[in-house]
Amino acid sequence: MKSKVQSSKSKVPISDGPVNLSVQLGKLKLQNPVMVASGTFGYGVEYAQLLDLNQLGAVVVKGIRLGPVRGNATPRTVEVTSGLINAIGLQGPGVDGFIKKYWPFLKALKAPTIINIWGTTVEEYAEVAKRFDALGNVGALELNVSCPNIKKGGAQFGTDLKLLAQVVAACRKATKLPLITKMSPNVVSIAPFARAAEDAGSDALSIMNSYPAMAIDIESRRPKLANVTGGLTGPCIKPIAVKLVWEAAKAVKIPIIGMGGIQNAADAIEFMVAGATAVAVGTANFYEPQTALQVIAGIREFMEKQNLKDVKGITGSVAVKK
Amino acid sequence: MFEQTVQIVSNARDTDSYFRLVLRAPQIAPLIQPGQFAHVRILPLPDALLRRPFSIFQVAGDTFSILYKTVGKGTGVLARMGAGEELSVIAPLGHGYTVPKAGGEIPLLVAGGYGMAAMFLLARRSPQKGIVFVGGRKRNDILCEKEFRALGWDVRAMTEDGSHGEKGLVTQPLRAEIQNSKSKIKNFKIFACGPTGMLKAVGKIAADFNVPAELSMDEHMCCGVGVCLTCVIPIKTADGWEYQRTCTEGPVFDARQVVWGEMK
C-alpha cells in the first residue's frame, strides 16, 4: 500500500509569478497580504517545524502586557458547531519574558513580526508600546482593545469611543511604529469606532476580534468554560466579520486587515472584496497549520485566473447596488 | 514533528467501544518515544473542526497505531473509516516517559481504560520488566492484557464491577504492592496514564511512599503544538505555580510538580 507523503515544510509551492501580492500597512510593507491572527500562532517558533514562516505576510504574536499573566482557569476552550469558544485570559510572559524567550527567534525571520499588546490602563498600553519601540526591528504593534476574556483591559477600551481614542492616541505618542487597532465586534455600529481609531493615529485596523459567546452542558447545567463566557472564533463568525469589514471600509481611509473564520483562499478573497487590504488566518491554524500558505497560493491562483496583476485591485471591489 | 497525510492500514474493533487504528507514516514512526501522542484530523466536520490527540500505542516498521475509544463525534466518524482512507496527522508530539534502564528502578505501570495505550510502548521499550496494574469499569475496559503478559510483565487486572480480575480500583493493588515490599521501596518507579482522578490517587500514593512517579495527563487540546494554551495544568515553580502545556511540556509530568489543589 502506498502512502501519500508530504514534506513537513513548505508544502504549498509559492511561485514568484508576475502577480504583485505586496501590500502596505502604514509604512510596513508586506510581501503578501496573508498574516496569522494573534493568539492562534503563539510566538511563531512553535510552528517553525511545520511550515516556512518566511512565506507569511507577517507573524502576529499572542497579546503581551507589561508583566507576566497566568491566564484563566480551565476549561479554557470549547468546540462548537463550526467554531471554537475560548477564554484563555491572555496568558503570557510579559514584555521582558517575551524579549528574552521569543524575540531572538522572531527578529531573525525575514517575515515581519507584529506584536499584539494590551494593558489594563491607558498608561500601560503606552508603556508597552514604548518598550517595543525601543526594541528595534518590530514590524508593527497591534493594539488589543477587544479581548472579551479579561476583567480589566481589552474590550473595555474597544467598546468605549472615548477610551479607544485615548488608548490609540497615547500609543501614537509613545511610538513611531505602525499601529494597528484590533476592533471589537461587540458594538452597535463599527463605523464611529473605526473613525475614532483612525483619527487618533492608527495606521490600520484589524477586524475583528472574537465575538462574546457561551456554551452550557445541559446535563450538569454548568457553563462549559471556567470563565463562564468566552470569545467565539472559527468559520461560523466569518459572515459577521465580512459585514464589519465592509462597513468599516466605507468609514475610513486606512487599510483594514480582515479576519474571522478564514479557512481557504476564497474566504480570504471575500474579505478583500469587502474592503480588506490584508487578511489573517486564525482558528484554522489550530487544525490545519498549512492554511495561511494555502491561502497565499490560492490568492495567486485566483489572480492568474482572473488576469489580475495587483492584489490591491481586489480590495473593496464589492459591487453593491444602491 | 511532522505533518503527514497518512493512509489507514487497518481500523478494527478491539472490545465494544475500543478500536485499534494502524497508520502508515514512514517519517513519523521511527521518531516516536513512549508517552508521545499524535494529533489527528479526522474529517473537516462542521461539528468537529479540531484535531483529536491520541496516545501512540505501538510502533512497527513504518507504521504506528493508536488504541482509541469512541467517545464523541470525531471518534465516532473515525470508527467508520477503513483501510486505504486518509487522515492528516501531526506527530510525534509532546514530552514522553523516561524509559527505565536495565538494572534500574522496577517500573510499576498503572493504566486506566485507554490509558493502557500509552503504557504499552513503554513496557515494550523498557529493558527492565515490572508490574502492570490495569483497571477499568468493566471487563471490556481491560485492554491489551495478553500483550503485556506476552512481553513478560506481571499483570494485575482490576474492574470496578468485578467482571474481570479483582473487584476494585487499580490504585488498591498498587498501594498494597508498595506497602508489602517496603524494603524495595527505593527501587520502584511509577508510570501512569488514565483519568485525572486516577492520576491524582496515584500521585498521592507516590507522595505517601516517596516513590518517583511520571504521570501522563489527559486534558482537552486544540492545537497540540503549544500555541492555543487550552491544555494547561498547574505546575510548581520556584515562587508558586504556573500553567504549563500538556501538549508541549507534557503530557508526562513528574507527579511532585503537579499542584492538585489548583486543578479544575
Across the interface, whether the CB atoms of B229 and A82 are under 8 A apart is answered no
R_g over Cα of chain A: 19
Q: Is B242 on the interface with A (CB under 8 A)?
A: yes
Residues of chain A found within 8 Å of residue B220, distances taken between Cβ atoms: 74-75, 77
Q: Which residues are B107's β-sheet partners?
A: B189
Is residue A320 included in any domain, yes or no?
A: no
**Structural domain includes residue A15:** no
Q: Give chain B's domains with CATH numbers.
A: 2-93 (2.40.30.10), 97-213 (3.40.50.80), 219-264 (2.10.240)
* pLDDT of B44: 65
For residue B42, what are the CA distances in angstroms to A257, B6, B92, B219? 31, 11, 17, 19
Measure in Å the smallest separation between the Cα of B70 and chain A Cα atoms.
17
**Distance in angstroms (rounded) separating the CA atoms of residues A287 and A233:** 13
In a domain, residue A7? The reply is no
Are A5 and B90 within 8 A, CB to CB?
no
Residues in chain B with CB shorter than 8 Å from the CB of A46 are: 225-227, 248
**Domain total of chain A:** 1
- Does A54 map to a domain? yes
Q: Is pLDDT at A6 greater than 60 in this prediction?
A: no
Instruction: Please indicate whether, in this complex, the C-beta atoms of A6 and B220 are within 8 angstroms of each other.
Output: no
Residues 204-223 of B with CB under 8 A from A: 219-220, 222-223
Residue A129 lies in a domain: yes
Residue A1 has pLDDT above 70, yes or no: no
In the predicted model, what is the mean pLDDT of chain B? 93
Interval B187-215: pLDDT, tens = 899 999 999 999 999 999 999 999 999 99
Please list the alpha-helical segments (H only) found in chain B. 73-79, 116-125, 145-150, 171-180, 196-208
Range(s) of the domain holding residue A175: 23-313
Report the pLDDT averaged over residues B149-153: 94
Reported as a pLDDT band with limits 50, 70 and 90, residue B263 is confident
A280 inside domain: yes
pLDDT of A293 > 60? The answer is: yes
Statement: residue A117 has pLDDT above 50:
yes
Catalytic annotation, residues of A: 147
The most confident of A282-296, B14-28, B116-130, B157-171, by mean pLDDT: A282-296
**How many C-beta neighbours within 10 Å does residue B195 have?**
14
- The rounded mean pLDDT for chain A is 93
pLDDT band at A148 (very low <50, low <70, confident <90, very high): confident
Write down the ipTM of this complex. Answer: 0.93
pLDDT tens-digit readout, A229-270: 999 999 999 999 999 999 999 999 999 999 999 999 999 999
pLDDT tens digits for A13-71? 455 568 999 999 999 999 999 999 999 999 999 999 999 999 999 999 999 999 999 99
Q: State the CATH number of the domain containing residue A188.
A: 3.20.20.70
Nine-digit cell at B117? Answer: 495505550
CB-nearest to A46 from B24, B222, B226 is B226
CB contact under 8 A, A76 and B230: yes
Nearest chain B residue to A77, by CA: B230
